[in-house]
Chains A and B, each alone.
Chain A
Amino acid sequence: MNKLNFLQPDKNNLNTYLYTGTILVALSIFIVFINSFFKKDLISFLPGSISFFLPLILGFIGLHLIRIDYSGLKFLDSINKNINTNNFNAFLSLLIVFVVIKSLPPLLSWFIIDANIAGDSKDVCTGSGACWTYIKIWFNRFMYGMYPNAEQWRINLSFIALAFLGTIGFFATEKFKKYLTLYYVVVYPIIAFFFIFFFISGGPIFFDFSYGIIAAVISIIIGFLIPSKFKMYYFIIVPITLYILLKYVFFYEELIELGKLEALEWVETGAWGGLSLTFIVSFFCLIFCFPIGLFLSLGRRSDFPIIKYFSIGMIEFWRGVPLITVLFMSSVMFPMFLPEDMFIDKLVRVIIAISLFEAAYVAEVIRGGLQALPRGQYDAAKSLGMGYWKMHILVILPQALKLVIPGIANTFLALVKDTPLIFVVGLLEIVGMLNLAKTNPEWLGFAMEGYVFASVLFFIICYAMSKYSYNLEQKYKTER
């Protein structure tokens, strides 16, 4: 038997140290546990401050005793390596464990044990816990805003259809893989637009917008037949001409009337709201801000001075102002810039404002990727006789975009988190709906439940997005 030195535990008396230490640590955790879960103070016979610090002191001594290097016991070694490397670490570990044990009972009781979910009025919420009945009753409003109850199947159906169409990429066979980019960049947004325009709205809200979309579709289809030499001028001139033709020559209003589904009731955008509006706004902004950002980033690196300084101006302007002032501008200042008889829907204005705003951030992210590419890539592409667009589409952008997946994902995350700001123009997505419900005289005093509910929802959405972007990053990582 070696001499016991409690200040420096060693391997020779492993068992003695181990048993004493384990008992002390277990005792300290047991005291805190009983105190926290069963409200019984086992050490109340001691004077106040000592009984408060006793578990900490006991656990600290216990952890000190079991801190034995290379003990040969796998479990003990891993504990020592991970949470018990020195006195300071042991102290912090104990503190974290105690805080978790202490805070579990109140949290559990608020969330589950004392909470109410039965019933359909606030009278059932008498306990000290959360009142989930409130969420249950208001759930419909939190999801769909003021959208009429009888029509909500339209939103559901559209979202399910769009989700299905969006996942088609995963099932595509090899033969169709090469068309996927075209599908996601052009076809899918148009399908989505028509779903929302004809189905969710059911009416003439996106008028001006749809002239543009139709003009773009026709010009893209014809665009494939044009020799590549003239493509650039073509894409600038033809859509604008088509737009003007459609609007002023072809009596387009009658075309719209033909396409309208008579059976569907028109729901104005002011009634849209809740989580579905969050999705709609972020979806469209996401679609629009990426191409705008791409062109701005290319423009910033362009050799043409006018285009270059225009792009720099755009990017720095949108990056320099807060989103809330941009939305203010779109709601109070922008109508001043339009002719008296012209009216653009609130939702459209907001989507344009947010798209331009986020596009500036996307542009800077993509520029980072473009700058990271070695010059040799440009030179090699040019030496093969590629023009500007061919070089960028086939060589530069695929590599640059791969590099900036995390950055773009972060920008998209920021976009989703920025959507609640549309309350400035009076559109109520889920956070706005919560604030409205909170002031309802029948349901006063349940702000906490609402915010916790929305936080959980947003956390799930954003966390899933960030994990997905991480997977993408890993998938497309190429050795350089």
Chain B
Amino acid sequence: MNIKKILPQLLTLLVVILIFGFFSYNAQVNMENRGITFGYGFLSQESSFDVQFSLIEYDGSHSYFRAYLVGLLNTILVSVIGIIFATIIGVVVGIARLSNNYLIERTAAVYVEFFRNIPLLLQIFFWYFAALRALPLPQDTEPMFGVFFLTIKGFFVPAFVWNNLDIFIYSIIAAIISIIFIRIYARKKQENEGIQTPVLSISIGLLIILPLLSFLFGGVDASVEVPVIKQLSQSGFTYEGGIKLPPELISLALALSLYTATFIAECVRAGVQGVSKGQKEAAASIGLTPNQVLKLVVMPQALRIIIPPTTNQYLNLTKNSSLAAAIAYPDLVLVFAGTALMQTGRAIEIVSITMLTYLSLSISISIFMNWYNKKIAIKEK
């Protein structure tokens, strides 16, 4: 071992240890001065604050851990909504960017350039403070299709009231499992005999028929609960029944999906353009129909380019959803790193839990992506 190899490493290690030692020593002194002891025991204490919007039952008498769960679920909710809409808009715009129609291509380009060059926070503020504030009051709202009410207090949509919901869910799971088996079977048949099975139409059929059967024979029953206007005071109205989507959620989901969609659109465009022309021509020359060319040759190769950066965008969207704190949507950062921190004063514990939550999420996704990339990478002989 020569000194040239060891010295830099030792120095780095020394500096890191020194910095950490310095920080932890100070932290200890500071906490002693303020009379707090380090520990995560506070998580089981009563939280005694309320949260505006929660997916699980929660009020002030629940523990801080429950408050953490409420925040986490709200973060996941807005991320999932954002991811779904961002994917739909992104794919449509990405394909529009490739259109041979000049007007469509330009419109999509303007959309992409415009929305991705404006800070996300500004867009969230715009939707929340400017655009959604222009909506009518509950009592002046015209219903859309008779059942949807878009008001300044939020978006009121009808809710389904289910009987035997579990059987319905089992039927969907059964449909999905059978679709997976059919795909495997179809693939084997394709490889062994070269015969194509219409997987898509069978899948759609299964997805419709099995839940339908559960309605007919499984005793599943659903009715719709339409929101009804209700007077609270002289001039205060609201809607009762159905599901209320608060304006914070709407503006956050809207801004997140419109912003992230621009990046997904560029990923889609790059992916489809990344498939060389020769591939399409070769596929056409061996007699595949245009649909088969798209399904069997272009899409598998394009997806290989599209999926990794798109997953990255999903991750970005999830991390960006923490901007919710700016408009008081009760996500993880606002509920836990905001309100709970103010109440307990346990800065180190709470900020570390919040960071670890995001960190574990993104590291698990990146491990999954590494595995996926290895799996789909072209195996050169």
Contacts and interface: CB of A to CB of B under 8 A. Distances in A.
Are A and B physically bound partners? yes
A459 B101 contact: no
A333 B355 CA distance: 12
Nearest to A338: B26
B320 A420 contact: no
B359 A321 contact: yes
Categorize the interface residue count of chain B.
Answer: 35 or more
A325 B355 contact: yes
Interface centre among B103, B130, B322, by most chain A C-beta atoms within 10 angstroms, is B103
Nearest to B9: A306
Contacts of A338: 26
A447 B133 contact: yes
A424 B9 CA distance: 37
B100 interface: yes
A360 to B, nearest CB: 12
Categorize the interface residue count of chain A.
Answer: 35 or more
Interface in B6-24: 7-9, 11-13, 16, 22-24
B114 A459 contact: yes
Nearest to B129: A447
Interface string B88-122: 00000000000111111001000001100111111
B203 interface: no
A336 B12 contact: no
A30 to B, nearest CB: 19
Given A92-B104, A317-B359, A325-B355, A332 B347 contact: yes
B152 to A, nearest CB: 13
B325 interface: yes
B117 A458 contact: yes
A310 B14 CA distance: 12
A304 interface: yes
- Chain A interface helix/strand/loop/mixed: helix
Given A447-B129, A458-B118, A325 B102 contact: no
Nearest to A418: B119
B121 A329 contact: no
B118 A92 contact: no
Contacts of B119: 416-420, 431, 458
B333 interface: yes
Nearest to B131: A448
A347 to B, nearest CB: 19
A319 B126 CA distance: 27
B358 to A, nearest CB: 5
A463 B117 contact: yes
B319 interface: yes
Interface string B17-43: 000001110110111010000000000
A455 interface: yes
B122 A454 contact: yes
A421 B333 CA distance: 13
B297 to A, nearest CB: 23
B27 A93 contact: no
Contacts of A320: 358-359, 361-363
B30 to A, nearest CB: 5
A232 interface: yes
Contacts of A304: 5, 8-9
A190 to B, nearest CB: 24
Contacts of A474: none
A92 B359 CA distance: 44
Contacts of B113: 463
Contacts of A322: 319-320, 322, 333, 358
A336 B26 contact: yes
A32 to B, nearest CB: 15
Given A306-B12, A307-B12, A336-B31, A324 B104 contact: no
A306 B13 contact: yes
B326 interface: yes
Contacts of A420: 119, 121-122
A378 interface: no
B29 A340 contact: yes
Interface stretch (A39-47, A65-73, A82-90, A203-211): A82-90
Contacts of A34: none
B337 interface: yes
Closest 3 CB pairs of A and B: A462-B117, A322-B319, A82-B102
Given A322-B320, A322-B333, 9 more contacts: A82-B102, A96-B107, A322-B358, A325-B337, A337-B22, A340-B29, A434-B125, A447-B133, A451-B130
11 contacts: A89-B101, A317-B359, A324-B322, A325-B333, A325-B354, A328-B354, A336-B347, A340-B30, A454-B122, A459-B117, A466-B117
